[in-house]
Amino acid sequence: MIVSLLFGTGLALASPLTEGVERWEEGDLAAAVEAWSSVVDEGVPSWETHYNLGVARYRQGDLALALAHWREATHRAPRREEPSHNLAVVRAELGLGGRVVAEPWWLRLATANEWLGLGAFTTALGGLGGWLAHSFSRRVWPWMAGAILGLVFLAAGYVGDWQMSAYPGAVVLVEDCALRLEPDVEAPTGKTLGVGAEVGVLERFRGFVLVESSEGLTGYVPASSLAIVGDHSGWERRLRGS
Amino acid sequence: MVGAWFWRWAFILIGLSVPSLAHAQVVQLTVVSPDLEVGDVGLVRVRVQGPRPTAPPVISTDPPQGLRLAFYGQSQQVRVVNGQSARSFEYNYRVEALAEGTYRLGPAVVEFGTRSESTRPGTLRVRPRSGGSSAEVEASSVLSVEQAWTGQVVLLQRRLRSKSRILRDSWTEPVLRNLDRVRGTQPRFVEYQVDNNGQRTFVREESYPLMVAPGEEAEISATVARVGIRSQSGSLSAFSVGRSKQVIVPLDAYRIKVRDLPSPPPQFSGLVGDFSIQVKVDKTAARVGDSVNQEILIQGDGDLVGFEPAAMPSSDKFRVYEGTPAISSRVDGDGFKAEGMYSRVIVPTKAGRLSIPDYTFVYFSPTKGEYVKEVVSFTDIEVGAGASKNGAFESFMSDTDALSVDGVPSESLDEGVRPIQTAGVASTVPEPMWLRWAGWLATLPLVSFVLVRVGPSVWGVAGRAVSRLFRRQAAEESINGLLRALPEDRVERLGALERVLRRVIAALTELESTGAIDGAQVQAAREVRARLDRARFAEVDDPTLEQDIRSLASQLERLT
């Protein structure tokens, strides 16, 4: 909890959800969406903001955006039940099937920052404990084992963070998004992905993204047609701009 | 008589006809290498003079199997004749000989918009490989079964065996008939050595899953394996240590018999293979509105891509939300393995005992040769009444219309989706840069402990081991060490004596320079060195040579 407070939500700005919630309660859905969406201009949106935006988009009938926001929410708060539940619901409604390109399994237990914090704490504690135990002629190996466990946690944090930034998941936001052979709008096309399809990002290149579909097919799609998990500011700003 | 006007007009007509001749359309097929051995690669060229074809020419082969023809590239030439440009296009094709025989290549069909032209055909002869290279490498490319059922997954197994180390291999992809590649599965590569009484055999194996399509017979066409092996007689390569050479091994086509599935029973899933099924429900007690996760795990040796269990319909007691299947497959030592995890969320909408319907799974088992039906049951779930909380909205209640959450009418909330979060924060601060380094800093106590406390003992042990190693080497290279371990072989023995004598002369010369000895002893040692050189290079027998060298070494030992 302490670690989580230090490295995660505890560093939150005093920017409550209230404005959007008030608009929601007044029944002004568009204003609520605007209030929550504007958060991306001010800082890093919390999981609650993404979650609420997902509910609002779902209500507006935009299932792909709802899916994208809930994936963002689960990315930030993997242990919360609400976004996971809503994800299952919207995936069932979209009915696209196939394998979901998801984050590493350990990031479903804790965020990369939480792993880093836990790893740093455990490693430091084990290392310092080892020094003290050695100085007082006590057994050192339990502390060393703790420190090594901490290194494993650190590795989980660093690797998870790298993997989510290098190979994140993404959601297709536009209809009939064709996989292209080359990063070019005139390149030959292959399979067409439906709106809401979940893909894995393999590479970004000149405004195009090389993605892997749930069936294992790869191809280039325009970056503007995707919501990339972890890149909230990119696609949310783009959508608001459009 | 022919008048001057005739010649004038004749010249004009000839002049006009030359450009049109330059534009004449010519299509020609040339087999650049008409005589090949199995495994060789040759070139076929189609030359088109005139307008640009709309597509690369298509070349047929007769018989169709046994050659692999692939478009290789094209070039264009422009010639100017009498001020008129004439273009010609060359289309090159790579032809790989896979099986012995005489083949007719072409005619090549060249398309110019709506019309097309054909070339004359060419002939290509393929002879068996000369030299018997297959003795060095044994290769096979077979299917894992001799007969299969339609829809069954079989393995294309390639194996290379050689007494020499296998450095690299490449196979010409065979043409598959009534066989489809299984998508999303990586092939299996294994490399190992077999040691049979000191005789090593290097083995390299690859396995690819293929699905059998309907038909009487499935076939993998003839193919060629190109194998690079370590060989003393081979050539040096910049990319491998030592000498290597390439061996080409032709392989014949391989066929298996295909059997059609018998008439399917009701509820047949379409799956062919031997499967096991496990089911799991994460709760046996829940409240109205809770999510109950149900998972069906199917494992087996058949392909699961595209398969989904029959959807469970919702009822007045529960709602069902089908999840996204997670399908994976691999090839391991036991063959092809596929696994599908099918999940769904069941949300009770009424209190009481909830019975989930049985799941029936019907598939065709190739080993039994018949359809197998499995019925799995789920544990009943005790459903309690939904929790009442302030602000919580249990959206799965059937009578939620009258409910409201913080003033928001319930009809504005969508059934099945959890409500919004009313508490919490909207944004968090950006992640500070130092956070990434905090993890590394945290390792400092551990690293310093290892370096300072654990390190010295480790370095000490390693240092002593290295020191012992150096001392042993120095002792082996010392004069006495060399004299103790003189080899039996004459040439090697004389070589070792030369090393001894060199050290003796160097030591005596050093002693002479300090005045400890006079020059006579150094001169005597040099005379022995001259005898040693005669014995080594003129092969003169000198029975006292070794004894004299030992005497010099003894003298040196006494002096030092």
Mean pLDDT confidence for A172-197: 84
Rounded Cα distance, B237 and B243, in Å: 7
**Smallest Cα–Cα separation from B188: which of B80, B28, B24, B335?**
B335
User: Among residues 278-317 of chain B, which lie with CB inside 8 Å of chain A?
Assistant: 291, 305, 308
pLDDT higher than 80, residue A72: yes
Residue A100 pLDDT more than 70? no
Choice among A5-19, A84-98, B111-125, B147-161 with the minimum mean pLDDT: A5-19
pLDDT tens-digit profile of B259-303?
A: 999 998 888 888 999 999 988 888 888 888 788 888 889 999 998
Residue % of chain A over a pLDDT of 70 = 84
Three-state SS at A168? coil
Closest residue, chain A, to B434 (C-alpha): A7
Q: Is the dihedral of CA B456, B459, B463, B465 positive or negative?
A: positive
Q: Do B431 and A81 touch (CB under 8 A)?
A: no
Q: Which residues on adjacent β-strands are paired with residue B335?
A: B332
Q: Closest Cα to residue A127, out of B434, B454, B460, B435?
A: B454
Mean per-residue pLDDT, B456-473? 81
Minimal Cβ distance to A17: which of B328, B422, B444:
B422
Task: Please give the pLDDT value at position B399.
Answer: 33
Number of Cβ within 10 Å of residue B157's Cβ equals 17
> What is chain A's length?
242
Q: Which of B183, B435, B446 sits opposite A7 (nearest CB)?
A: B435
Give the three-state DSSP class for B486.
Answer: coil
For residues A212 and B352, give the distance between their C-alpha atoms in angstroms, rounded to a whole number: 45
Give the residue, B457 or A55, on which the prediction is more confident.
Answer: A55
Query: What was the pLDDT predicted at B131?
Result: 61
Q: Residue type at B540?
A: V
Identify the band that residue B411 occupies on the pLDDT scale cut at 50, 70 and 90.
very low
Give, in degrees to the nearest 5, the angle at Cα B305 between B302 and B306.
125
Query: B481-499 pLDDT, tens per residue?
Result: 888 888 888 888 888 888 8
Give percent of chain B above pLDDT 90.
8
CA distance A123 to A149: 7
CA-wise closest residue to B112 among B45, B26, B217, B206: B26
pLDDT of residue B3: 62
Q: Kindly determine whether residue B428 and residue A43, on different chains, have CB atoms separated by under 8 Å.
A: yes
Contact check, Cβ <8 Å, B426/A215 = no
Chain B's closest residue to A126, CA to CA, is: B446
What string of DSSP letters covers B181-243? EPTT---EEEEEEEEETTEEEEEEEEEEEEEEPSSSEEEE--EEEEEEEEEEEEEE-TTSSSE
Closest CA to B317 of B408, B402, B380: B380
Q: Are strands B35-37 and B122-127 parallel, antiparallel or unpaired?
A: parallel
CB pairs under 8 A between A and B: 184
Q: Are B540 and B532 in contact (CB under 8 A)?
A: no
Question: In sequence order, what are the residues at sequence separation of 6 or more whose Cβ sits closer than 8 angstroms to the Cβ of residue B459?
Answer: none
Contact list, A215 vs chain B (CB under 8 Å): 183-184, 305
| Furthest-apart CA atoms within chain B: distance in Å | 126
Asked whether residue B63 carries a pLDDT value surpassing 90, the answer given is no
Res. B6: pLDDT tops 80: no
Rounded to two decimals, the ipTM of the complex is 0.77
A13-27, A161-175, B107-121, B156-170: segment of lowest average pLDDT: A13-27
Dist CA A27 CA B214 (whole Å): 59
pLDDT in tens, B212-264: 999 889 988 888 888 888 776 655 555 555 677 788 888 888 889 999 999 98
Selected residue of A4, A6, A9, A17 to mutate for chain B interface (largest B Cβ count, 10 A): A17
Choose the weakest-confidence range: A226-235, B92-101, B271-280, B441-450: A226-235
* DSSP of B9-66: HHHHHHHHHHHHHHT--EEEEEESS-EEETT-EEEEEEEEESSPPSSPPEEEEESSSS
CB contact under 8 A, B426 and A7: no
Is B59:B93 a contact under the CB 8 Å cutoff? Answer: yes
Task: Tell me the chain B residues in contact with residue A93 when contact means C-beta distances shorter than 8 Å.
Answer: 321
Distance from CA of B88 to the nearest CA of A (A): 28
Q: Do A131 and B449 touch (CB under 8 A)?
A: yes
Q: What percentage of chain A has pLDDT greater than the value 90?
A: 16
Residue of A120, A134, A215 with shortest CB distance to B439: A120
Taking CB atoms and an 8 Å limit, are B421 and A15 in contact across chains?
Answer: no
Say what the pLDDT of residue A152 is. Answer: 94
What mean pLDDT is reported for chain A?
A: 82
> Distance from A193 to chain B by nearest Cα, in Å?
16
Chain A residues within an 8 Å CB radius of B338:
none
Per DSSP, chain A holds a count of helices (H) and strands (E) of 10, 8
* Interface contact B445-A36, CB threshold 8 A: no
The phi, psi pair for B546, rounded to 5°, reads -65, -40
Tokens of B133: 């290279």
The mean per-residue pLDDT over the stretch B134-149 comes to: 85
Tell me: pLDDT of A83 over 70.
yes
| Strand ranges, E, within B323-417 | 326-332, 335-348, 352-354, 359-365, 370-376, 381-384, 404-405, 408-409
CA-CA distance, B164 to B416, in Å (whole number)? 65
* Mean pLDDT on B106-132: 83
Token pair recorded at residue B26? 């010519």
- Between chains, do A92 and B426 touch, taking CB under 8 Å as contact? no
Q: Which residue has the higher pLDDT, A99 or B219?
A: B219
pLDDT at B311: 80
Q: What is the pLDDT of residues B319-362, one digit of tens each?
A: 888 877 888 888 887 889 999 888 888 888 888 888 888 888 89
Residue of B nearest to A89 (CA): B321
Helix axes A18-25, A29-37, angle to 10 degrees: 170
Residue B388 pLDDT more than 80? no
Chosen from A23, A70, A85, A215 to mutate, greatest number of chain B CBs within 10 A: A85
Element (H, E) at B333: none
Do B110 and B53 touch, CB atoms closer than 8 A? yes
Question: B372: pLDDT confidence band, cut at 50, 70 and 90?
Answer: very high
* B440-459 pLDDT per residue, tens: 888 888 888 888 877 777 77
Pairwise CA distance, residues B271 & B363, whole Å: 5
**Mean pLDDT highest for which of A81-95, B221-235, B404-418?**
A81-95
What integer pLDDT is reported at residue A11 of this predicted model? 43
Which residues in chain B touch residue A88, judged by CB atoms under 8 angstroms apart? 291, 321, 323, 345
Q: b or e along A105-132 (b: 16 or more beta carbons within 10 Å of the residue's beta carbon)?
A: ebbeebbbbbbbbbbbbbbbbbbbbbbe
Q: Is B306 left (phi over 0), alpha (psi -120 to 50) or beta?
A: left
3-state secondary structure of B467: helix
Range with the largest mean pLDDT of A118-132, B41-55, B73-87: A118-132
Contact status of B191 with chain A (Cβ, < 8 Å): no
Pick the range with the lowest mean pLDDT from A40-49, A177-186, B539-548: A40-49
Mean pLDDT for chain B? 80
| Residues 318-337 in B contacting A (C-alpha not used; CB under 8 Å) | 321-328
pTM of the model: 0.45
Retrieve residue B7's tokens.
């010649």
Residues 391-450 of B with CB under 8 A from A: 406-409, 412-414, 416-431, 435-436, 438-439, 441-449
Largest CA distance in chain A: 72
Tell whether the model's pLDDT for residue B405 goes beyond 90.
Answer: no
Q: Which residue in A9, A13, A89, A232 has the most chain B C-beta atoms within 10 A of its own C-beta, making it the best mutation to test that interface?
A: A89
The whole-number average pLDDT for the span B415-430 is 76
Q: In this structure, are residues B255 and B219 in contact, taking their beta carbons and an 8 Å threshold?
A: yes
The Cα B298–Cα B146 span in angstroms is 27
- Selecting from B345, B425, B443 the residue whose C-beta is nearest the C-beta of A16 gives B425
Q: Which residues of A touch B418 (CB under 8 A)?
A: 55, 82, 85-86
Residue B494's nearest CA partner among B538, B446, B533, B436 is B533
pLDDT over threshold 90, residue B10? no
